Amino acid sequence: MFPSPHAPSVERRPVVVVGAGPAGLTVGNILRAAAVDCVVLETESREFIETRPRAGVIEEGAVRGLAAGLLARAQVHDECEFRFGGERYRFRYHELTARHHYVYPQPLLVTDLVREYADVRGGDIRFGVREVRLHDLETDRPAVSYLCPETGERRVVHCDFVAGCDGARGVSREAVPAWRARLARRDHGIGWLALLAEAPPSADCVVFGVHPRGFAGHMARSPEVTRYYLQCAPGDDPENWPHDRVWAELRARLGAAGAQPLAEGRLIEKRVLDMHNYVVPPMVFGRLFLAGDGAHLTAPIAAKGLNLALHDAFLLGDALVALITGGDTDGLAGYSAACLRRAWDYQEFSEWLSGIYHGTASGDRYHAATTLARLRRLFTSPAAARAFAEQYLGAADAY
Ligand code: FAD
């Protein structure tokens, strides 16, 4: 039962942030930097979120305010490589856009953001909370409640705004009634075996293997750890992929003339991701503002999810500060539309890239041949190359 607002455990903050992923922590840091009080609620432990392996490729435009640790330690990438037909094709995107990618593992980014929020800025973050619920979102006095991990007691935080940053499996999106949320979903019908290998990178850049046996990807994470992907059947069991099968398949799909042999290593993560995307427009319901994977999921195909989460968080954090400290309502009023323009653009890119990655393994000779034509065009048409580079880097002037 919802406790009385007069109960001793009831507290009040301008903003409650649900979820301590990249989106929630970035919103929290922007609020704290502007001396706006908030609390961040997270179901997992600090140790868990600081070690959860996920993304690593970050756009230049998505590092604002995260720069300290990242700029000191991230690798800077200026080009990537496609391998198809037994050949290697370098794609020098920096030459086309003057932009680069940072490669910085998500656990390090989250560690930096937690430290900045909690240890440096003294922000309130509560780990291990359970059964988070959102209340009265359509009123000007919303609240978020949760079970305290120490006492098991339900605690309530009253607030003015809720930032729903709890990812794809959170509760914020569920709090938007079905009549309001117009979820749009795309299922690619394809699985990726996501692997982390205790092995140094085997190329000096991200490598995409487009092969009749299926897509394979190689992405450096650190000098000791490399992420690999292998296209597989959706819902496949990782146990079907023992060490020897994984490395044989990676060698076949990433093999090309003059390519460095793959450095093998122990597989420390092995899980199957079903490739699907969704968007939940609008990203606002009353006083709830969704950000990141809670509002839109992009399969790792285009490496865009973390970037979108950060772009949302910058807009939301700035808009909340503008309203709370200066009474400016424009940012929050335009928040959903501004985020959705970029989100749909990235969705479309992910869709296009999925065609390239998976077309040659579709079993359809016509589709396989047009896929290769698309891919060759990137290396024969400067206009096509520039358009691809702009989307790959998220570098368009306007979204
Ligand atoms: P999350 O990171 O999911 O954070 C949400 C947080 O909320 C979590 O800490 C969760 O524990 C917490 N939470 C959940 N439920 C609740 C609740 N009820 N109450 C309170 N807290 C809750 N993106 C890229 O841009 N580049 C890449 O290279 C890339 N590679 C990827 C590789 C893999 C294998 C995967 C799985 C994803 C990849 N992504 C990539 C996507 C990226 O990791 C996500 O888009 C990103 O984590 C989204 O951040 P977020 O803050 O929105 O959500």
For residue 27, give the nearest of 363, 324, 367, 356 by alpha carbon.
324
CA of 293 to the centre of ligand 1 (A): 6
- pLDDT band at residue 9, thresholds of 50, 70 and 90? low
Torsion (CA) 92, 298, 305, 217 in degrees, nearest 10:
-50
How confident is the model over 14-38, as pLDDT tens digits?
Answer: 999 999 999 999 999 999 999 999 9
How confident is the model over 334-390, as pLDDT tens digits?
Answer: 999 999 999 999 999 999 999 999 999 999 999 999 999 999 999 999 999 999 999
Residue 42 near ligand 1, beta carbon < 6 Å:
yes
What range defines the domain where residue 302 resides? 11-69+105-184+278-347
Q: Does 355 reside within a domain?
A: no
Q: Is 188 helix (H, G, I), strand (E, B) or coil?
A: strand
Q: Work out how many domains the chain is built from and give that number.
A: 2
Residue 27 phi, psi dihedral angles, 5° rounding: -60, -45
| Together in a domain, 288 and 340 | yes
| Together in a domain, 50 and 198 | no
pLDDT of residue 63: 87
Residue 193 near ligand 1, beta carbon < 6 Å:
no
Q: Does 148 reside within a domain?
A: yes
CA of 54 to the centre of ligand 1 (A): 8
CA gyration radius, the chain? 22
Q: Does 328 reside within a domain?
A: yes
**Count of residues for the chain?**
399
Residue 105 near ligand 1, beta carbon < 6 Å:
no
Residue 293 near ligand 1, beta carbon < 6 Å:
yes
Which residue is closest in CA terms to ligand 1's atom 26? 303
Residue with tokens 């009123």: 139
Residue 164 near ligand 1, beta carbon < 6 Å:
no
Q: Does 398 reside within a domain?
A: no
- The DSSP bridge pattern shows strands 80-84 and 206-209 to be parallel
- Residue 4 pLDDT greater than 90, yes or no: no
CA of 259 to the centre of ligand 1 (A): 33
How confident is the model over 290-309, as pLDDT tens digits?
Answer: 999 999 999 999 999 999 99
pLDDT of residue 1: 45
pLDDT of residue 70: 83
| Together in a domain, 249 and 370 | yes
> Cα–Cα distance between 135 and 42 in angstroms, integer?
17
**Mean pLDDT, rounded, of the chain:** 94
Cα distances (Å, whole numbers) of residue 233 to 34, 237, 250, 361? 48, 9, 16, 12
How confident is the model over 73-94, as pLDDT tens digits?
Answer: 899 999 999 999 999 999 999 9
Average pLDDT over residues 178-205: 94
CB 101 within 8 A of CB 58: yes
Task: Give the nearest ligand 1 atom to 49 CA.
Answer: 9
Percent residues over pLDDT 90 in the chain: 90
CATH of the domain at 306: 3.50.50.60
Q: Does 358 reside within a domain?
A: no
DSSP readout, 92-148? -HHHHHS--EEE--HHHHHHHHHIIIIIIS--EEE-S-EEEEEE-TTSSS-EEEEE-
End-to-end CA distance of the chain: 44
